[in-house]
Amino acid sequence: MASDGGKKKKVIAMAVLLVVGAVVSTIVTVRRHKDIEINVRKAGGKKTGIIAATAVTTAATTATVIILCKHTDFKKVCEETLSRVGLKEPRDLVKANFNAAMESILVAIEKSYTLQVAAKDPMAAKAIEQCNELLHVSIEDLKRSVDQVNIFDLPKLKQNIIDLRVWLSGAVTWQETCLDAFENTTGDSKMSMWKFMETGNRLTRNSLAILDGVAELSIDVQKSPRKVPKPRPKPLTMPISVNWKADLTINPMALRQDTGNGMNNNPADSQPATVGGDSKPMTGNRRMLDQLDDDFQDPVVHSNLQMVGDSSSKDDEIPTPETKPVMPLQQDDNTQYPSWADGPRRSLINADPSTLKPNAIVSQDGTGNFKTITEAVDSVPQKQTEPFIILIKAGTYKENVAIPRHSNNIVLLGEGPATTKITGNKNFIDGVSTFHTATVAVNGDGFMAKDLWFENTAGPEKHQAVALRVSADMAIFQNCVMDGYQDTLYTHSYRQFYRRCNVSGTIDFVFGDAAAVFQDCHMIVRKPMSNQACMVTAQGRKDSHSVGGIVLQGCTITAEPNFLNAAPMPKSYLGRPWKEYSRTIIMQSFIDKNIDPEGWAPWTGTFGLDTCFYTELDNKGPGADTSKRVKWKGVKRMSPREASKYTPARFIQGDSWIKGTGVPYDSGMMNI
């Protein structure tokens, strides 16, 4: 009966909307004072026409508000906000909620200055300052969402709704990161800040959930859907002449032997890899996004970045920092390149440093344009629409590098992850917030890095110490090493792709709320301090409508030899729920003996155990047996069909922004 009632409501709503369309088309003006006055061109000014138009329009607006708000977690806030807008189109109602969220967050920022002055704890004062920074970025995400709604009419929004989901998920994440900054502070500053933010946070989360209603309206309104072409920039060719073979070190301890298809065979017969490299306080509602996934095959472009490259699935050899032998990458003469990437424009993936013509060269010996990476990054024009290539020659660069927001399409190329290292040691114990400890922080969209080693040397006793933080949409990392202990890799927000990378650490060493896919990567657990357990992941999805999640596909989860050989061996787990709707998917991977049979660890008490989404599929190795896994409600079984939702083509829309770069990439399930 409930389903019949829902269908009747939808039929009534759609009938009302169609009537409104006919009536509104005759309206010349609508003026609202104490009463609503409607001048009707063809009704001869008859009072009955005015009353009918007013009644129908009011009913239509109410019906639209109900549809838009029905998926939200804070329905009362949503309905009150949209009802105050008056008689508007659905697009105007959506924009009104986005704008209300922005205004409320701005008020929170203004009020927070009083907290900063009153804060007695220096760390709390820093947290408030960080909140001001992060909340402004959250407003930017809301603003670009409003701009997207301005550009596209409601029927066309269906094709752009994924971008809106990503940006609004980002807005929620930035607000949550503001509150994270108060970890281990004293006083009531965090609670006061939350009170300032609460309304804005609810409006932002409602903005994200409203997209389900937008999609529902968009699908229902279009009786005869027609393909609307999405504006796309012309393919960009590189301003370089390249034929580069990067010098890469061989990994003599590779767990699996590369077969050339992005995966390796017989992991149990090989030796574990070694990489030199500590804790944080779902089934999410994916219904509408899952239904619409098949409709969104071309939602994004890689920030106008199309890099020429190898379209085959063969990867470079992964090196480790300890290995010394050097071997040139072999060129595959049968490689298929994009049609516009012929001749000298062939692949940055296989470029030769001697012929590469980048936009900037960094070299410590003075043979380049700059001696530091920061100087080179500072030379990049804002809102760059073409790839800006920075070649970093071999050396150890002791600096903290920040890729600014709006410095888009920056490409960092090293001369090999064993020889080009960026290192730092900022950490939480020394008074730096986790967010700002990163040796390299990426904030500009369309970023790409290859053949680099990112390191934080603070050590396990210094607790949170990030080697790499990525807060950029459509970011790609290939053949890189991320080396640290606690919180090594902060996959903070938006969409990210990692291929053939090594990530090492102890506690929560891959964490954050990005939609991040790792293919053919090594997750290497390092020996922690005494009485510590290790967690590979700590995914931080706060809202059930958010796009965030960590996907490990075709990866190896293992540990360093001194960990595997310890007696007793420390415990390590696949992950734990940092936030309520934590989501982690591990599939087609090798799980070594270091992973405890229970598989997953709690955060604290029962927090997140019922609402997380943890699942494993088609994994191998001594730690892959799921029969003794924890029996939480949030630990799920998944079919291969369900797993396809978490492949890069669907989960991060990778076909539209990864394929053209030439980075080895499997869009669906890997052939293993």
Q: Distance between CA atoms of 198 and 202, rounded to whole angstroms?
A: 6
Token readout for 429 is 């114990």
According to DSSP, the β-strands at 257-258 and 264-265 are antiparallel
Token readout for 253 is 């301890």
According to DSSP, the β-strands at 613-617 and 489-491 are unpaired
Please name the amino acid found at residue 595: I
CA distances from 578 to 38, 390, 511, 551, 602 (A): 54, 35, 8, 16, 9
DSSP secondary structure string for all residues of 243-255: ----EEE--TT-S
Q: Distance between CA atoms of 323 and 308, rounded to whole angstroms?
A: 30
DSSP state of 174: H
391 neighbors 358 (Cβ within 8 angstroms): yes
Where would I find the H helices in 181-322?
189-221, 287-292
**C-alpha dihedral, 564 to 566 to 570 to 572, nearest 10°:** 0
Q: Distance between CA atoms of 388 and 407, rounded to whole angstroms?
A: 9
Q: Distance between CA atoms of 623 and 607, rounded to whole angstroms?
A: 25
Q: Tell me whether residue 508 is one of the annotated catalytic residues.
A: yes
DSSP state of 365: T
Helix (H) or strand (E) holding 393: none
DSSP secondary structure string for all residues of 315-336: PPPPP-TT---EEEPPP-TT--
According to DSSP, the β-strands at 475-478 and 507-512 are unpaired
Could you give the angle at which helices 90-118 and 75-83 cross, rounded to 10 degrees? Answer: 110
Which residue in 172, 234, 225, 179 sits closest to 203, CA to CA? 172
Q: Encode 447-458 in three state secondary structure.
A: CEEECCEEEECC
DSSP state of 479: S
Helix, strand or coil, per DSSP, at residue 392? strand
Q: Which residues of 13-25 are buried (b: 16+ CB within 10 A; e: fewer)?
A: bbebbebbeebbe
Token readout for 546 is 């958010």
CA distances from 424 to 398, 437, 438, 508 (A): 6, 9, 8, 19
CA distances from 195 to 170, 200, 624 (A): 21, 10, 44
For 525, list phi and psi in degrees, rounded to 5.
Answer: -80, 130
Burial of 84 (0-12, 13-18, 19+ CB in 10 A): exposed
Give 311's contacts (C-beta < 8 A, 6+ positions apart). Answer: 335, 336, 337, 338, 659, 662
Burial of 214 (0-12, 13-18, 19+ CB in 10 A): buried
Out of 247, 451, 508, 655, the active site residue is: 508
Q: What length is written for the chain?
A: 672
Q: Encode 259-271 in three state secondary structure.
A: CCCCCEECHHHCC
According to DSSP, the β-strands at 27-32 and 36-40 are antiparallel
Catalytic site positions: 508
